[in-house]
Every structure is written in structure tokens, then in C-alpha cells.
Amino acid sequence: MIQTILWALAAVLLSIVAYILSYVRFRRMISYQTRQMIQLMKSEEIENTKIGNIYATADEDFADLERAALSLRKKYLRLRRQSQEERKGYETVFSGLKEAIVTVDQNLRIISFNSSFMGFFNWAPVKEGGNYFLHDVIRDPLIISTFKKTFLKNEIQKNEIDMYQLFVTPLPSRIENESWCLGVFYDLSEIRKTERIRVDFVANASHEMRTPLTVMKGYAEVLGKKLKARPELAAEYELVQPIIQSAENMSDLMNELLNLSKLDVGLALTKESLSTNAVTEVVLGEVELLQNMQHKKIEVDIQVDFVLAQQDALKQILRNLLVNAIKYSGQSDQIKVTWLQTPSAVVLKVKDNGPGISKEHQNRIFERFYRVDKGRGRDQGGFGLGLALVKHHMLNHGGTVKLISDAHSGSEFICEFPAQ
């Protein structure tokens, strides 16, 4: 009995000793593995070939764990290096752009920017990594409001401010419940300078050409009168007529170019409340001769008494639309002019029932010198500037002009003048 108890006590003592030894060994290995993992985690700059040496004395009981940790660490370092290289590439491209670029969060805190942004606004951060807000750099309220509107509407906003154009685009953020947007500033100074040179050249050239054209036309008309008085010179008289007609066409072209040049300058308009009926009557009188020659009937429907516009510009808009309808309405003799009121605008419509304008031409119909049928336009004295003038006048009024047309179903030009 006593012997049995002694054997049991011995077994218990052996178990306790084995447990203690195993615990000490396990604790020592855990401590060793912890130190190795810490060393591995700190080895961001260690080459992959050197990382393997960290586990040169690895215990077999922990071999799988060690290999897994080493594999994960190598993969992490590889992805980290790849990410750093890609980031450097993006930063190189980002900093090399001449456009000023800035990224901000919904609080307008600056997240990132390029060197062009610093040069554009003559700004540099005092310390790297500091918190800076857009209003610390830019004082223009129009720019700030453009960024705020982007966050509010979550859509691209654009604006022209002084000598640059601003595009602000919403971006997905890397942080939950946070939104960013990207602002790009395009310098328009060179473009504006080029436009100014072009406008000045067209205006000066047109002005200078008017004098010789007037002289040519005057002498041709005098010569024509003298030839007409002598029946035996009827053939010579017919030869003079193209000279007179060409001089008149060139004078009309110079006048239209001068009008466009004045619009390009962007002078402020003096708007006034004009009688729609009075303006329409004046313009109808101006186009009456052409209307009778083409055998057209013009119907007028006036549903609004007044429109806020500049008088000469309004007359030119209606005149050009009517001349366009008279010339290009084909066999149809019906043209309708309509004035009506909407909640936000006074609308002018000029509609004909002619052959219409196909879809392929509608996007370019308001371009300068663009003609749907170039041969027809030249024969009838058109230069492709009438609709361009209409568009520029409407833009200067803060309004819009659009075309509704299908081939063989007529054309309707709609001008909307802001009510206020």
C-alpha cells in the first residue's frame, strides 16, 4: 500500500517537473520568436536575402509559424516597395504638370498639391505635414464657392476666374465617411493673349479693307452708269455687274466680321425694356424686299409685350434668323415668328417648313463660316456668319439659342432671353 502511494507521488512529481520544463522551454521559445518577429518587423530596409538569416536557428516546433511569418513579411516588403515606386512615379507626373492641382477634403483642408499650385498662388507650406485649408491660400470667394458647390452637388463644377479656368471634380476618399475633390487650374493668359491678337487683326483688317472696297464699288457703279447709257456697250455693262455685286458682298462680309470683333471684345451691354411688337415691325420692314423676292409669308404671334435686351443686338438677332429662314426654307412659303413668356425667360422662335437641317450639321451650325450647303450659301451671298452672330449676341445677353430640326421637316431656332 505504502509502495503504491510512493509510486503515485513519484509519478505526480515527474509530471510536475515535466510540465515545468515544458513551460520553461515553451516560454523561452515564445520569447525568442517574439524577439525574432520584432526584429523582422523592424527590417523594412533589409534585403530579402538577409531576412532569411533571422530564422537560421529556428526550432522545428515553430518552423511552420516561422515560415508563414517570413513569407508574409517578404510579401509585405515587396508590396511596400512597389507602392513606393508607384507613388514616386505619380508624384513625378503630378509635380511636372504645368496646371495647378490641389486636393481637399469636405472641410476644404488641403490633402495634396503640386509645385505649380504653390507657384500659381505664391504660397509654400511653413512646415511639412501641417494642416492647411484652402482659404489659407486662396482668398477669392468664387473659387471657394466652386469647391463647396462640388461637395454639395457631387458633380463636376467649372468656372472662369480672371485669367484662369477652374475645374473641380469629386473624388472617392480612402477614408470612410469622408469625401475629397480635385481642383485643376488652367492658365488662360496665353490663350487670351492669342485671342486678343486675333480679334485685333480681324477688326483692323476689316476696317482697312472697307475703304478700298468702297472705292472699287463707287468707280464700278459710275462706270456701269456710263456703259448703260450707251446701248452699243451692253456687253461691257454686263461685265461690270459682277464687280459691283462682289464689292457689295465683300462689304457685307467686312461688316459682319467687324460686328463679330465687337462681340469678341465682350463690352458690357446696355439692356432696356423693348417692345417686341415694335422691334418685329422694324425688322419685317428691313427684310420685306427679300421676302417678296422669295415669295414668302411671315406670320407673327406676339404673346409677350416686352423683352429685356440691347436694341441693335435684338434687331440683328431677329433679322439674321428671318433672312436665314427666307433664303433656306426651300419650296415652302410659310415662316412663323413667335414671342412668348416662360417663368424664367422671354422666348423668340423663328420657324420655317423647309427641308430642315440634318443631325450631322446641327452641332456646327453656329460656327463661324460654317454652311450646310456651301455651294448654295455662296450663290445666295451667305458667308456662314449670320448664325454665329446670333449665338454671340445671345451669349452676351446671358441667354441661349438652340435649333430643333429634322431633315425634310423644317427648322426652328429658339432664343431665350433671361427675364431678369
Mean predicted lDDT score pLDDT of the chain: 78
Q: What is the pLDDT averaged over residues 322-350? A: 88
Q: Give pLDDT, residue 344.
A: 86
At 268 the pLDDT is: 58
Q: What percent of the chain has pLDDT over 70?
A: 75
Considering the domain 272-418 in this protein, what is its CATH number? 3.30.565.10
Q: Predicted confidence band at 382 (pLDDT cuts at 50, 70, 90)?
A: low
Task: Say which residue, 260 or 58, is predicted with more confidence.
Answer: 260
Give yes or no for residue 411 having a pLDDT over 80.
Answer: yes
Most confident of 178-187, 207-216, 373-382: 178-187
Candidates 135, 140, 139, 95; CA nearest to 118 is 95
Cα dihedral sign, 292-295-299-300: negative
Report angle CA 372, 281, 371 to the nearest 5 degrees: 5
Q: Are 415 and 317 in contact (CB under 8 A)?
A: yes
Whether 3 has a pLDDT exceeding 70, the answer reads: yes
pLDDT value for 41:
61
* pLDDT at residue 46 in the model: 52
pLDDT of res. 213: 77
**Residue 387: what pLDDT?**
83
Cβ-contact 372, 363 below 8 angstroms: no
What average pLDDT score do residues 166-193 get? Answer: 82
- Name the DSSP letter for residue 148: H
- DSSP sequence for 378-420: HHTT--S-HHHHHHHHHHHTT-EEEEEE-TTS-EEEEEEEE--
Rounded CA-CA distance 401/405 in Å is: 13
97-187 in CATH: which number? 3.30.450.20
Tell me how many degrees the CA angle 66-69-72 measures, rounded to the nearest 5: 145
State the angle between helix axes of 311-328 and 276-286 in degrees (0 to 180), rounded to the nearest 10.
Answer: 50
User: Pick from 194, 147, 137: which is nearest to 169 by CA?
Assistant: 147
CA distance 241 to 162: 51
Q: What is the pLDDT of residue 347?
A: 92
Q: Grid coordinates standing for 285?
A: 420692314
**198 is written with which cell numbers?**
486675333
> What distance in Å separates the CA atoms of residue 345 and residue 260, rounded to the nearest whole number?
25
| SS3 (DSSP) at 46 | coil
Quickly state the pLDDT bin for 264 (edges 50, 70, 90). low
Residue 60's pLDDT band, with cuts at 50, 70 and 90, is low
